[in-house]
Each structure stands twice: as C-alpha cells, then as structure tokens.
Homo-oligomer: A and B are copies of this chain.
C-alpha cells in the first residue's frame, strides 16, 4: 500500500479538535464524515469528553482503543505540535493539519516546532497545515470545513484536483457540482510541510480512479522533483496546469498568500512545455479542458468537421478552428454525396456543413452519420441552435446514439435561453460536452488534439 493511500482510503479516522459547537470547524468535519457515509470508525477527540453527533469523545488520541489510519487536526495553532507528537506515538498513518497560523502569517517559531514534531515520525505522512485537506467522497472522506449549502459536493467522477489555494479549490468544487462534472479526489495541501504537490501528482498519476488531473499552483516547493514527477505522469495521463502569479504583480501577491516564491514566468512556461502538461490560463479553461479530456475519446488527427443549422455560427466556428491551429476536414466525395442526396438543394455540404435553419432531427442524423464515419474526419464540432422549431429533444438521442458508436471527439455548441439551456443540460447528462461558443469548443479540442498527437508521436 502506498503511504498516501491512508489519506484517501483510511479505515478508522480521528478528529482532533472535534467540537460540540455546530458553528465550529471541528463539528463541520465530523458532520462531513457522517454525511459522506464513511464506513470506518469516526472518533472525536476533545478534552471536554461527552458525545459529538452520537460519537463517544476521547480526551486524547492515546486513549482511543482502535488503530487510527487518518487523523485530522483542527485545534488552534499553538496546540498543533503536541497533537502531532501524540498522533506519531499512536502510530497514525496519515495526518491532515487543517489549522492555520504558521509560516503563512510569519510565525516561524511555531513553524519550526511543528517541523521538528513532524520529523520525529518519518513514517507518518502529513498534509498541511493551513489547508482544507482532502475530499474523496467515494470513500466517505471529506475534511472540507465549509458547509454543503455553501460548498456543494460534486458527484463521484474521474477528474482529480490538487489546489494550493483553499478558496480557489472550494469554488472549483462548488462550480463542478453545479455543472454536474464528476470529481474523484480533491486535495488542498496548504503549506506542504511534508506531502507536497509533487507527491500528490505522482499519487494521482498512479490512481486508477483518476483519468484527468488538474492542478492549481502558486509556487513549487521542490522544483526539480515536481518537474521529474510531472514529466512521468503527463506521459500517460493528462495534467491540466494553472499557475497563479505569472505576472510580476501576481508573483508578489502569492508571497502574501501562500508565501510561495513564484519564480519567473519563463521558467514555468518552459516547465509546462517540457513536462507535457496542458497549460490553462483561466478557471473556465481548467474546467473545459478537464471535461473534454475526461469524456472525449483520443483523436487520431487534427481534421475537424463542422456541422451547423445557422450559417453565422458556422462561420465563427470555422474561424475558431483555424485560429487554434486545427485543420478543416475535407470529407470524401462518397460521404458528401450521402448527405447531399438526403438534403434539400440549398443545404451547403462543405466545411462547415450548413444544414440551414429548417434542418430537422433527421437531417442531423443523416449528416452526423456520414461525417463521423468519414475517414477524413478526426473530430466534430456540432452546432445546435434551438431557436428554430424544426429540431427538438430528439436530436439529443440522435447525437448520443451516433457518438457512442464511433470513437471520435464530438463537441456540441449551443447558445440561447431557457429552452437551449434545458437541452444543453440534457446533453451534459449524457456526458456530451457542450459549449456556448465555438471559440471555446475549438480551444478545448486543440488542447485535446495537441496532447494526444504529441504523446503518440
């Protein structure tokens, strides 16, 4: 068993600083484990004793009569070093220190004391301090101390997320749950006094439940180590990388935030390129890339066919494909003929294919089937404008049926009001990636295509 496994799949856990007061962090974390249906024992530790949420409280972890795999510490900073030592003596395997008040606020003396405590027990792995900790809902692990009406928990999925910033990480999870994107594991690792971003990246690289890794960093603890691990992981699993502090002012801001030395922009850019990670600039990009890498099959090449029922959107999509350095597919005559003979004469069977405003579900079916089976086409951008009354919900089934039969990326672009949104949500439920603009669809398709063409070269 990997030593980090105990963070994600512990048997029994203890919460040191579990609280009787529902407003306190130590209470919210207790609640989380219970709500997430954690299967092992949940042991609250607090000198006040009694019961918290029906669980017997122990005064100290040393009194606990069970083996504890994971302990979560959320006592005030000054009590943390002592708690760490007690956990070490108890042979706890993994420790998450939520508490803040160390290096990040300039408290170097306490930081030193904590470092010494951690060093005494080299086999006990530690995440934190100053972090949100770990969420792995499939196993009932959830140390995020924000209540679920504020921070909704996303459903289980194949994207895992490492974040140096707690606030950013929590906004991300909340957003993912709104959009219906599945998350496997989330880690906010704070000051990284033991487990750092490189360890986590390596772990997720090997984790079978994780298909895509996304990572937000402000600074790297051990540059070389991270570089080497990233290079290995990115070879077989997509790693989406977003860096805070890529401008001089941003780098200064990271020092007040995580205390990270951001390093030069050029060094980071070179690192991303050399490791083969996928660079993202905004949180929207992180999401768009993550879901596209998660759900789309591997493209065989960079030739994109566009299909639309609105000419203007077709034009913008063409611009977007070419601006992002992808190619316009040139379909075989045979497949074009297949569409032509089943479409009215004013439909334009080029690239883009403009099925025109009166296209119905059937016309889409004919076109999609011909396009996706064309050997000259590597991926598809399908524009569905629901403002016209000739297409309806049935077109979702059409898209889904054709998509599952062929291993080609197919992104849907649709923009509009309630009616369109309703259909986009239905498409997303079928794990079909939808976008409001062709520009963002093409950008994501470019990231996907570039990654796999480079990897398979």
Q: A81 in the interface, Cβ–Cβ < 8 Å? A: no
- Contact residue among B150, B249, B258 (Cβ-Cβ distance under 8 Å from A318): B249
- Contact residue among B165, B282, B389 (Cβ-Cβ distance under 8 Å from A311): B165
- For chain A, the bracket of interface size reads 35 or more
Q: A165-B312, A312-B167, A416-B151 are in contact. Are A436 and B319 (CB under 8 A)?
A: no
B149 adjacent to A419 (CB under 8 Å): yes
Q: A395 in the interface, Cβ–Cβ < 8 Å? A: no
Q: A206 in the interface, Cβ–Cβ < 8 Å? A: no
A257 adjacent to B418 (CB under 8 Å): no
B175 adjacent to A323 (CB under 8 Å): no
| Cα(A421)–Cα(B175), bound, Å | 9
A147 adjacent to B389 (CB under 8 Å): yes
What residue of chain B has the Cβ atom nearest to residue A391's Cβ?
B150
A315 adjacent to B254 (CB under 8 Å): yes
Inter-chain contacts of A205 with B (CB < 8 A):
none
A178 adjacent to B416 (CB under 8 Å): yes
Which one, A36-44, A49-57, A346-354, A400-408, is touching chain B?
A346-354
Inter-chain contacts of A421 with B (CB < 8 A):
178
What residue of chain B has the Cβ atom nearest to residue A350's Cβ?
B256
B167 adjacent to A415 (CB under 8 Å): no
B417 adjacent to A174 (CB under 8 Å): yes
Inter-chain contacts of A281 with B (CB < 8 A):
439
B-contact 0/1 string along A406-428, CB 8 Å cutoff = 00000000011111110000000
Which one, A61-69, A239-247, A290-298, A374-382, is touching chain B?
A239-247
What residue of chain B has the Cβ atom nearest to residue A437's Cβ?
B282
| Cα(A150)–Cα(B309), bound, Å | 15
B418 adjacent to A152 (CB under 8 Å): yes
Q: A453 in the interface, Cβ–Cβ < 8 Å? A: no
A315 adjacent to B244 (CB under 8 Å): yes
A322 adjacent to B165 (CB under 8 Å): no
| Cα(A218)–Cα(B263), bound, Å | 44
Inter-chain contacts of A245 with B (CB < 8 A):
315, 318-319
Inter-chain contacts of A115 with B (CB < 8 A):
none
Inter-chain contacts of A216 with B (CB < 8 A):
312
What residue of chain B has the Cβ atom nearest to residue A246's Cβ?
B319
A311 adjacent to B257 (CB under 8 Å): yes
Q: A168 in the interface, Cβ–Cβ < 8 Å? A: yes
| Cα(A436)–Cα(B440), bound, Å | 15
- Contact residue among B253, B315, B351, B436 (Cβ-Cβ distance under 8 Å from A165): B315
Inter-chain contacts of A351 with B (CB < 8 A):
249, 253
What residue of chain B has the Cβ atom nearest to residue A164's Cβ?
B312
Inter-chain contacts of A47 with B (CB < 8 A):
none
| Cα(A297)–Cα(B422), bound, Å | 35
Q: A59 in the interface, Cβ–Cβ < 8 Å? A: no
B282 adjacent to A168 (CB under 8 Å): no
- Contact residue among B105, B164, B310 (Cβ-Cβ distance under 8 Å from A168): B310
What residue of chain B has the Cβ atom nearest to residue A314's Cβ?
B253
Inter-chain contacts of A250 with B (CB < 8 A):
315-316, 318-319, 322
B416 adjacent to A174 (CB under 8 Å): yes
Inter-chain contacts of A316 with B (CB < 8 A):
168, 244, 250, 282-283
Q: A135 in the interface, Cβ–Cβ < 8 Å? A: no
What residue of chain B has the Cβ atom nearest to residue A414's Cβ?
B171
B-contact 0/1 string along A167-204, CB 8 Å cutoff = 11111101101100000000000000000000000000
A177 adjacent to B417 (CB under 8 Å): yes
| Cα(A354)–Cα(B249), bound, Å | 14
Identify the 7 closest CB pairs spanning chains A and B, nearest first. A165-B312, A167-B310, A168-B312, A257-B311, A174-B416, A250-B319, A244-B315
